[in-house]
Amino acid sequence: MKVTGFELRRIAMPLVSPFRTSFGVEHDRDVLLVRAVTEDGAEGWGECVAMAEPLYSSEYVDGAAEVIRRLLIPAVLSLPDADPYRAEVPFAKIKGHPMAKAAVLTALLDARLRTAGLPLASYLGGVRDRVPAGVSVGIMDSIPELMEAVEGYLAEGYLRIKLKIQPGWDVAPVRAVRERFGDIMLQVDANTAYTLADARHLAKLDPFDLLLIEQPLPEDDIRGHAELARQVRTPICLDESITSARAAADAIALGATSVVNIKPGRVGGYLEARRVHDVCAASGVPVWVGGMLETGIGRAANVALAALPGCVLPGDTSASDRYFRRDVTAPFVLADGHLAVPTGPGIGVDPDPDALAEVTTATEWISR
Ligand code: NPQ
Ligand code: MG
């Protein structure tokens, strides 16, 4: 497969409501899309999940765009065969920037699979035609406001609720949701907001039978998570810390994580995401697919990944309308609490040109 060029497209997607986490409040999703065009006219899409500012990880969308145009695209254009596995080799020489790499590699993988007529889920080894949907619920101003939000999501059919937490918004909201809604699948995500000194406080979540507590401590604090795991009964699930299959293997071996959140952007693409899945499966560690407020393009690929056999917990793969009034693809909708795994070739969805045009803020074509 020969790639003739790439389009970089920036889109601005207003969120249906502000999304507050321990690291900040988001009102809009500033997304970078990558479109690869091949010699024989095929195209492939990738979505860069970096945020506008480096609040979730060190990457941010302007930086990712720069790495993509100045380093990653030239590396791909000089390959005799722009196969995603081959592109991983020069990409590995460039340190970091997994979200930038993932966007380019996904565009290549999509182009390759569309050419072959093979759906991404089939290619990755998916075993499900629909996946259970969870939803991530932001930090609110009050408990009544949170109750109303959770009630709405449960009424829509979401099968698992994830509460964003931070110091001052943890035990009380968890208790309130558990008391009001009973035996639902419930978990929390701290996005690194605590330290090991908070261990006894976090143990106060133990009575509420949470599925897991996600990333309580800093990204690089693997030992801290291992120590915390000995001090709380709630299973620890790493998100930010899992930057590769090797990082997953290490965290599991050290007892720092007993569940893993897989985000393809965070680990450098769907090939590495599958390796994370496989490492976890080999260790008997359950995994689930996280979310970065993706448009239908990124969401489609995440849903394909969630079809793998080791993805045994509902993911943050929510319906399009959880985040956006109008998606850039046909919207993902909940059916009986599940999302259908796309069956078309590649990521299985096509961006709608009108919907894209409505939100596009800049485009750029890069070729040899
Ligand atoms: C997480 N996602 O699991 C992330 C964090 C996150 C669905 O909870 C803009 C772009 C805002 C990416 C907010 C969920 C975001 C974002 C939160 C990612 O940790
Ligand atoms: Mg998380």
Domain with residue 62: its CATH number is 3.30.390.10
- Report how far ligand 2's centroid is from the alpha carbon of 183 (Å): 22
pTM over the 0.95 mark: yes
- Could you identify the residue written with the tokens 């009380």? 172
164 is known as an active-site residue: yes
Cβ neighbours of 142 (radius 10 Å): 9
Residue 159 neighbours by CB under 8 Å, 6+ apart = 132, 133, 134, 185, 314, 337, 338
- Ligand located closest to 139 CA: 1
Pocket test for ligand 1, best of 48, 56, 163, 243 (most atoms within 8 A of CB): 56
Shared domain for 254 and 277, answered yes or no, is: yes
**Structural Rg of the chain based on CA atoms:** 20
* 142 and 239 part of one domain: yes
Q: Is 240 in the pocket of ligand 1 (CB under 6 A)?
A: no
Residue 162 Cα: closest atom of ligand 1: 8
Question: 103 C-alpha vs ligand 2 centroid, how far in Å?
Answer: 19
Low-confidence ranges of the chain (pLDDT < 50): none
Asked if residue 316 has its Cβ within 6 Å of ligand 1, the reply is yes
**96 & 210 share domain:** no
**CA–CA distance, 62 with 312 (Å, rounded to integer):** 35
Domain with 102 in it: 3-117+353-367
Asked if residue 196 and residue 67 are part of one domain, the reply reads no
Q: Tell which one of 13, 16, 19 to mutate to probe ligand 1, the residue whose CB is within 8 A of the most ligand atoms.
A: 19
Determine which one of 95, 101, 204, 263 is catalytic: 263
- The residue whose CA has the least distance to atom 6 of ligand 1 is 292
**Cα torsion at 227, 228, 232, 233 (round to 10°)?**
-70
288 lines ligand 1 (CB under 6 A): no
The three-state (H, E, C) secondary structure of 234-296, written as one string: CCEEECCCCCCHHHHHHHHHCCCCCEEEECHHHHCCHHHHHHHHHHHHHCCCCEEECCCCCCH
| Ion ligand 2: residue ranges with CB closer than 5 A | 189, 214, 239
Total domains, the chain: 2
Q: Residue 205: what pLDDT? A: 98
Q: How far apart are the CA of 288 and the centre of ligand 2, in A?
A: 11
Residue 163 resides in a domain:
yes
Assess whether 234 and 295 both reside in one domain: yes
Ligand 1 atom 11 nearest Cα: 26
Residue 368: per-residue pLDDT: 85
Same domain? 134 vs 175:
yes
Distance CA 366, CA 358 (A): 22
Is the Cβ atom of 51 under 6 angstroms away from ligand 1?
yes
Residue from 158, 293, 322, 324 to probe ligand 1 pocket by mutation (most atoms less than 8 Å from CB): 293
Same domain, 111 and 128: no
**Domain match, 152 and 230 both:** yes
Residue 71 beta carbon below 6 angstroms from any ligand 1 atom: no
Q: Which amino acid is at 339?
A: L
Whether residue 22 has its Cβ less than 6 Å from ligand 1: no
Give the pLDDT confidence of 17-70 residue by residue, as tens digits.
999 999 999 999 999 999 999 999 999 999 999 999 999 999 999 999 999 999
211 and 144, same structural domain?
yes
Same domain, 141 and 257: yes
Residue 101: active-site member? no
Are 108 and 54 part of one and the same domain? yes
Q: How close is the Cα of 164 to the center of ligand 2, in Å?
A: 9
Evaluate whether residue 244 is within a structural domain.
yes
